[in-house]
Structure 1
Amino acid sequence: MTSAASPSPTTGQGPTVGPSPEHDGSAPVLTEKVKLPPVVWLLGAITFIMGTSEMIVTGLLPQLSGALGVSVSSAGMLITVFAVGMMIGAPVMSLATLRLPRRNALIAALLVFAAGHVVGALSSGLGLAMVGRFAAALGNGTFWAVGAVIATAAAGPAAGTRAMGVMVGGTTLANVVGVPLGTAAGQLSGWQTPFWVLAALAVVAAAVIVRQVPADRGGADSTLRTETTSLKHPRLWLVYLAIALIQGGVMAAYSYVALLLTDRAGLAEAAVPLAMLGFGAGALAGTTLGGRRGDSKPYGTLIPATSATAAILAAITLWATNSVLAVVLVVLLGAAGFATNPVVVGEVVRVAGAGRALPMALATSAFQVGIALGSWLGGAALTSALSLQGPPLTGMVLALLALVPLGLLAASRRKAGTVTQS
């Protein structure tokens, strides 16, 4: 894998600016828009497959519980084990594939992902199904860790956040299109159908990577020491903290959005999927906007978007008793909350340096920590005296807390820029 300062194997042209000194986030920014290389769009398309897999179980829990002979809550463990696989597996697998050429690591990740879905489709009991989900999560986490490195290095420092916007956008589009289609297919032709389709698509994607992604030296110059050394930057851990808190803030409310819309706002149950589709559309718009603005104004994007997220969650807490207003606020939550995702991942690259798989894997883990934290705290608040106001109120607090590390990061970036100019 070439560094961000050297010619990209996918474009043949190097970026016109290099990484900032010691990756302090003060890199110069080009004003001319850089065209993203085809490999970025290819990886974004594959994240659509990955994102569909991650959330497909949520729509098939009744069918899975019946087929596996367990309760719905027990079948829900398939969601938990996937999150754990992503959280733990991403950094572990990034180290396990450290010396592999990046293209080979991507192919291996997709084949493991496909195998996990085959195991899942053939399962007749919960235990084997959980093994399949864990394997799929390992493949997913590895793909994200390695794919993000390839995408950002190919795009160069001037367009790294836009590249991440494309990859995150693939996952967001999966929630808007892939998950509903997969759920419908599972309901009409059996829950195994989406598993088989995802396995087949992963194999096809691996074949496309063989043909479209040039061979590379990969991590030949990477060692455990160089990967762990990149984790010593305090700024990096502030970025991870911000990722977890922002994601937790959004998920604290969104995990219980159906209850918020029906029991509090009075929305008809049949209209909830449309509201969730609106959330997905808002998330896609936010991801696109964040990806476009994040390279030139990372903290000028992150801080307003996170502040807007907190304000929207406050509005949901106070005023989401009308169905129309509640749906509008849910759509806005998707836009504001997801506008931060490509930017924070781009900041991981800026701080840790291009070509580092372990920091990218830990970013994936930070997102999963946020999902787990937000869902858990939101559920606890729901069962408290706060009732249906609890989840959005909890999300608001988490979003406000995220402004602390973001403020410290912005101040550090301004200080580094002042020192560089002096």
Structure 2
Amino acid sequence: MHDEATRVPLKGRSSRLPFVIYVLALGTFLMLTTEFVVAGILPDIAADLRVSVARAGTLITVFAIGMIVGAPLMAMLTLRMPRRVTLMLALGVFAVGHVIVAVGSDFGVLLAARFLTALATGAFWAVAAVVATRVAGPGMASRAVGVVNAGGMLATVLGVPLGALLGQFVGWRGTFWALAILAVVAIPMIARHVPRGGAEHGSVSIRSELVALNSGRLWLALATCAATTGGVLAAYSYITPLLTERTGIPANLVPLVLAGFGVGSLVGSLLGGRIGDSRPHTATIVAPLATALILTALALVAGASIPTTILLVLLGLFGLGANPVLISLAVRYASHAPTLGSSLSVAAFNLGTAIASWIGGIALGTGLGTTGPVLVGAVIAALTLIPATALALIQRSRAAETSPESVNALS
């Protein structure tokens, strides 16, 4: 029995990507929007639920924890499940989780709903890239995955600012209702356009996938994933209080500032991917170094609106620019288990988010105030240089052993 998702004509194939790729991009748009949108409506959630901003920030932390568990776990549990079914179920659970948050008033219930939503998000992320590569075929696999990932990056440009803006007009719960409705709309689109079948066959086992965990370079790449995102999210998770209380930016202008960060992250992702094709380890070292400097500068000039806004755009540009490169390295070093490598990189990104947002929340309650999370982010970004540099040195050594001419490529 053939996998329908892999049937790609060899001749006469159109250069246009199948419509399902854009459906998957819509899914990743929703997934990343829900992960980051809480940062833009955090004060409103805290006020409505009568909890501190730091405690409300645990809604970000618990989602990240759910992604840590969900991405690799779902990648393993759904190995033999039709991917079309997995994607539909993930969107269904995603919608239910958002409805629970939209109508809930107990903070513990909201935390549980966010965790459930994160599990569904992990399942979707773990499967979407694989479906995209197989539907598009080998000749356009990278382009297809790029479009799917662009849906996630677009969330920081449009999804998060629009979610924050919607929250100002109809309340923060309206943002979660909107995400739930969009997820429901996406389900029949997945049902119609994702090919039937698409499960892994009997030759694939969890045991054979886990062999990839023996790669030391994979673990260094994952450590870099966690730290590089942690540095950015420690600051970004609590950026709204800093902008309104310290910088003095009106609440109605905060979505515009967040959009600037999103534009920076979208451009950074595209540039980082291009640079990463030829010099991946240069990208993974320069990005956290620049991030640490930007966050340090942000803490120093947080009282001035224009410099703060410019620095936030640069934070998006450099802070998330290396992420596509890191995902590619994780997939490469996972060898024969690319789905596991991809899902583990998602888990690592969210592990960094969970730890960093938790520490950032603690710093927010200290004498450092709203600049505390920014300084925490600067420290974490600087620590990213340790695994990133170690990975580059190991790769340089391996390249020297195989081909002296390839040392400079650091590939």
Specify the TM-score bucket, using the shorter chain as the normaliser: 0.7 to 0.9
Q: Which segment is superposed worse, 155-164 or 250-259?
A: 155-164
Deviates more, 1:74-83 or 1:97-106: 74-83
Q: Does 1:44 align with 2:25?
A: yes
1:201-350 pair list within 5 angstroms: 201-220=182-201, 221-261=203-243, 264-265=246-247, 267=249, 270-350=252-332
**SS of the residue 2:25 aligns to:** helix
Percent pairwise identity:
45
CA distance in 2, matches of 1:419, 1:39: 43
Q: In 2, distance between residues paired with 1:190 and 1:318?
A: 33
Give 2:82's aligned amino acid.
P
Does the CA contact (< 8 Å) of 1:162 and 1:292 recur in 2?
A: no
In the alignment, is the contact (CA less than 8 A) between 1:153 and 1:354 conserved in 2?
A: no
User: 2: CA distance between counterparts of 1:262 and 1:234?
Assistant: 44
Distance 1:298 1:62, change over 3 A: closer
| 1:227-270, Cα deviation, whole Å (9 max, x unpaired) | 21111111111011001111111123323334544555555555
AA of the residue aligned to 2:24? L
1:393 deviates by 3.5
C-alpha contact 2:65 2:354 (8 A) present in aligned 1: no
Cα deviation 1:282-339 (Å, max 9, x = unaligned): 1111122223333333223222222222222233244555332222111111111111
Q: Deviations over 1:144-183 (max 9, x none)?
A: 1112333456678897776555444322322332233334
Q: What are the superposed Cα offsets for residues 375-415 of structure 1, whole Å, 9 maximum, x if unpaired?
A: 23334445556556544333233222212222222233333
Gaps of 5+ in 2: 405-411
Bigger helix fraction? 2
Describe the shift of the 1:371–1:386 C-alpha distance in structure 2 as closer, same or farther (beyond 3 A). Answer: same
Return the letter of the residue paired with 1:293: I
Rounded to whole Å, the distance in 2 between the matches of 1:258 and 1:120 is 21
Q: Report the CA distance between 1:99 and its aligned residue.
A: 1.5
- How far 1:203 sits from its partner (Å)? 3.0
Query: Which residues of structure 1 form unaligned runs of 5+?
Result: 15-33
Indicate if the aligned counterparts of 1:246 and 1:399 stay in contact, CA closer than 8 A.
yes
Cα distance in 2 for residues equivalent to 1:403 and 1:156: 36
Q: Which residue of 2 aligns with 1:28?
A: none
Deviation at 1:97, TM superposition (A): 1.4
Q: Distance in 2 between matches of 1:355 and 1:149?
A: 11
Q: Does 1:195 align with 2:176?
A: yes
Following the alignment from structure 2 to structure 1, what is the Cα–Cα distance between the partners of residues 366 and 104? 38
Q: What is the CA distance between 1:142 and its match in structure 2?
A: 0.6
Query: Which of 67, 78, 85 is matched with 1:86 structurally?
Result: 67
Code of the aligned partner of 2:216? P
Deviation, structure 1 residue 351: 1.1
Deviation of the 1:84 alpha carbon: 2.4
* SS of residue in 2 equivalent to 1:295: helix
| Aligned residue runs from structure 1 range 45-64, under 5 A | 45-60=26-41
TM-score between both structures, scaled by the size of structure 1 = 0.80
Of 389, 392, 396, which aligns to 1:414?
396
Structure 1 37/258 Cα, relative in aligned 2: closer, same or farther at 3 Å?
A: same
Q: Find the aligned partners of 2:395 and 2:20 in 1 and give their Cα distance.
A: 30
The TM-score normalised by the length of structure 2 is 0.82
Question: Aligned partners of 1:121 and 1:263: how far apart in 2?
Answer: 27
Counterpart of 1:9? Answer: 6
Q: Which letter does structure 2 place at the counterpart of 1:214?
A: P
Is the 8 Å Cα contact of residues 246 and 337 (structure 1) preserved in structure 2? yes
CA contact (8 A) 1:152 1:160 kept: yes
- Structure 1 residues 122-141: aligned runs within 5 Å: 122-123=103-104, 125-141=106-122
245-254 vs 317-326, greater mean Cα deviation? 317-326
Give the corresponding residue for 2:360.
Answer: 378
Compute the displacement of 1:352 (Å): 0.9
Equivalent pair of 1:306/1:403 in contact (CA under 8 Å): yes
| Secondary structure at 1:294 match in 2 | helix
Q: Residue 117 of structure 1 aligns with which residue? A: 98
Q: What is the alpha-carbon distance in structure 2 between the residues aligned to residue 197 and residue 259 of structure 1?
A: 24
Counterpart residue type for residue 160 of structure 2: V
- In the other structure, the counterpart of 2:409 is none
Which one is further off, 407-416 or 97-106? 407-416
Matches within 5 A, 1:61-72: 70-71=50-51
Does 1:106 pair with 2:87?
yes
- What is the deviation of 1:92? 2.2
The structural deviation recorded for 1:272 is 3.5
Q: Which residue of 2 aligns with 1:357?
A: 339
The answer to which of 158-167 and 182-191 deviates more is: 158-167
- CA change 1:63–1:414 in 2 (3 A) is closer
Tell me the SS of whatever aligns to 2:277.
coil
The change in CA–CA distance for 1:257 and 1:124 in structure 2 (over 3 A counts) is closer
Between the two proteins, the alignment pairs up a number of residues equal to 399
Between the aligned partners of 1:389 and 1:191, the Cα distance in structure 2 is 25
Determine whether 1:179 maps to 2:176: no
Contact 1:227/1:359 (<8 A) preserved: no
Distance of 1:375 and 1:78 partners within structure 2: 10
Task: Please report how far the alpha carbon of residue 364 of structure 1 lies from its aligned counterpart in structure 2 after TM superposition.
Answer: 1.7
Distance 1:197 1:13, change over 3 A: farther
Q: Tell me, yes or no, if the aligned pair for 2:164 and 2:255 is still in contact at 8 Å.
A: no
Question: How far apart, in 2, do the equivalents of 1:232 and 1:209 lie?
Answer: 35
| Equivalent residues of 2:43, 2:241 under 8 A apart | no
